[in-house]
């Protein structure tokens, strides 16, 4: 198993792009990726559909990012997978709310950068 720092970087990069409301967030995904978010209806396959899903989230009046308490990651060749636990951080009108969040994913290293193949988020009940 390889060095998992690239997976940690991919998680941080996705969180930054999400908070910045950057349209380039969809470029973090491979062309035929699957994204399953934590909210009803948040399912998108392919970069175009993923871009549209993120555009809808970014149009909301609040900003979203994630903060991870633990990341359990493994790599085998150019494929990596992980399970992360932490919080989704919602910033609205200067106030922050944190809710428990879990994320499982599969990434593929392409041209030196880890790209998302599967994103599956959930908000566990507390």
Question: Across the strands, what pairs with 45?
Answer: 34
- Has this prediction a pTM greater than 0.85? yes
The per-residue pLDDT for range 60-113, each reduced to its tens digit, is: 999 999 999 999 999 999 999 999 999 999 999 999 999 999 999 999 999 999
Asked whether the predicted pLDDT for residue 2 surpasses 90, the reply is no
**Locus of tokens 């009803």:** 40
Query: Domain 5-122, what architecture?
Result: Roll (3.10)
How is the chain split into domains, by residue range? Answer: 5-122
Give all strands of the β-sheet with 43-45 in edge-to-edge order. Answer: 43-45, 29-36, 113-122, 95-110, 79-92, 63-76
Task: Decide the pairing of beta strands 43-45 and 79-92.
Answer: unpaired
- pLDDT bucket at 125, cuts 50 / 70 / 90: confident
């Amino acid at each position: 198993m390889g060095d998992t720092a690239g997976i940690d970087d991919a998680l941080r990069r996705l969180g930054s792009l999400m908070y910045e409301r950057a349209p380039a967030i969809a470029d973090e995904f491979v062309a035929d990726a699957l994204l399953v978010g934590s909210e009803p209806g948040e399912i998108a396959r392919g970069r175009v559909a993923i871009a549209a899903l993120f555009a809808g989230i970014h149009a909301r009046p609040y900003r979203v990012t994630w903060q991870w308490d633990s990341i359990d990651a493994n790599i085998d060749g150019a494929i990596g997978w992980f399970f992360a636990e932490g919080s989704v951080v919602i910033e609205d009108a200067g106030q922050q709310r944190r809710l428990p969040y879990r994320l499982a994913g599969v990434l593929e290293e392409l041209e030196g950068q880890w790209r998302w193949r599967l994103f599956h988020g959930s908000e566990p009940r507390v």
